[in-house]
Amino acid sequence: MADTNGKPKIDLDEEMKDLERFLDEDAEPIAEPKEETDDDAVVALQTENEDLKDRLMRAMAEAENQRKRGERDRRDAEIYGGRKLGRDLLPVYDNMKRALEHATDEQRAANKGLFEGIELTQRELISVFAKHQIVPIVPEVGVKFNPEIHEAMYEAPVPGVDKGCVAQVMNEGFMIAEKLLRPAQVGVSSGSPT
């Protein structure tokens, strides 16, 4: 068809329909899910299975480590939980020991009941210490000074005692299980005087 000027007449409705058809043809089709072959599916499942096994093994190892840590912490708390109380009771033990060591025979005779009570209390305290794995460290005069379990209170020349050895024990030390509660307080010989 042509209009009066000799130009072809454009039918807008027909053009719109053609444009819509063109657009529909050029539209990207929705991608269909890719079909996996049986081999691809097996490989994917094996990979997933290995991954899940690895994660399970790691989770089980972590749970076992956590259990062991908890058990060790429980044991340590049971053994070392009374460490502070034990350390606080050591001066009580020292004072009882000093009272018994420095009492004269006359004082013991005049206050027999008092000294028996102190001795009984000291024995009971030692028994409680032993029950909680608190053991004394009593170094002998002449043994080599060990800074891990001894505390040097002084160093002086002492006849008959080798250099670097314990010359005097001032206070006993104590261990709780394998850990030091208090070092033994000792005097150390710097050798024989010249």
The model's pLDDT over 159-185, given as tens digits with 9 standing for 90+, comes to 888 899 999 999 999 999 888 999 999
Least confident residue range of 31-35, 60-64, 155-159: 31-35
Q: What is the pTM of this model?
A: 0.60
108, two tokens: 């013991």
pLDDT tens-digit readout, 82-121: 888 888 999 999 999 998 999 999 999 999 999 999 999 9
Strand order in the sheet with 179-182: 134-137, 173-176, 179-182
Which residue(s) pair with 112 in the sheet? none
Q: Is the CB of residue 97 less than 8 Å from the CB of residue 135?
A: no
Q: Which residue has the tokens 């004269």?
A: 104
Q: Is the CB of residue 156 less than 8 Å from the CB of residue 178?
A: no
pLDDT at position 92, please?
A: 92
Task: Specify the pairing of strand 166-171 against strand 184-189.
Answer: antiparallel
Confidence class for position 27, pLDDT limits 50, 70, 90: low
Average pLDDT, stretch 52-58? 92
**Interhelix angle for 83-102 vs 112-131, to 10°?**
150
> In the 3-class helix/strand/coil scheme, how is 85-96 assigned residue by residue?
HHHHHHHHHHHH
- Identity at 109, one-letter amino acid code: A
